[in-house]
Amino acid sequence: MNQADHEDPAWLDYRARFADVYDASNYSSPLQSAVMRASHRLSEKKFDENSYFSKVLEIGAGTGEHLPFVKHRFDQYVLTDLDEKTLEVAKQKLAGNDKLSFEKQSGEGLSYADNSFDRLIASHVLEHIYQPHLVLKEWRRGDKNAGYITVIIPTDPGMAWRLGRHLGPRKNAIAQGIAYDYVMAREHVNSCTNLIALLRHYFPERTETWWPTPIPSVDLNLFFAAHLSVSKTERE
């Protein structure tokens, strides 16, 4: 945390309450909940019960909203987040599954060895990271050759996203005393168009999907998802 954060009560208040307000801000209304869940469902269409990944890492797992949409089989699923409070919420939600583990972890510098995972999932994470090009390399390092990295990002600042923001999340957040516009300016530090350009540059082998339309446009959709195929040479 830098000095500016110490002098920023609105930001400190939001971060302190993040675990308590996240679900209420993003899943409180039926429409908003349906939209957010559609983004998770979008990223799991590629895999079904016949798919198998031995070891899966989820970056920025938050309160554990994504896991229920994972249909493929796995031996171990590691949920990580920097916010310990959100991980505690996730533990309560997902209790009883011995294949799950929960770890405080930064997505920007993984503590895992090279080639540790068969699949890495980052749902609504990449838009928050200041140096996404370095993070993509780090995620690729931790994933095995022929593995997958799955990324979901909002189409911010596309027209559909800006409209949707005003119809739902903004109103709910303000009702909870959150300085929404300010927080989003601090949270969404990367534009969708720039992130997509990076993904396409570093991962030439990939599949892309959009929601709610199949048209590849940031202005006509709310979410973009990509399955990035990891390909490594022997020298790596």
Specify the higher pLDDT residue, 101 or 13: 101
* pLDDT 10s digits, 57-97: 999 999 999 999 999 999 999 999 998 888 999 999 999 99
Torsion region of 96: left, alpha or beta (phi above 0 gives left; psi -120 to 50 gives alpha): left
pTM higher than 0.75: yes
Specify the higher pLDDT residue, 180 or 130: 130
Is the Cα torsion angle 230, 211, 180, 102 positive or negative in sign?
Answer: negative
| Residue with tokens 């927080």, as numbered in its chain | 183
* pLDDT 10s digits, 125-177: 999 999 999 999 999 999 999 999 999 999 999 999 999 888 777 877 788 77
Helix crossing, 84-93 with 9-27: angle to 10°? 20
CA distance 110 to 204: 23
Average pLDDT, the chain: 89
Average pLDDT of 6-22? Answer: 68
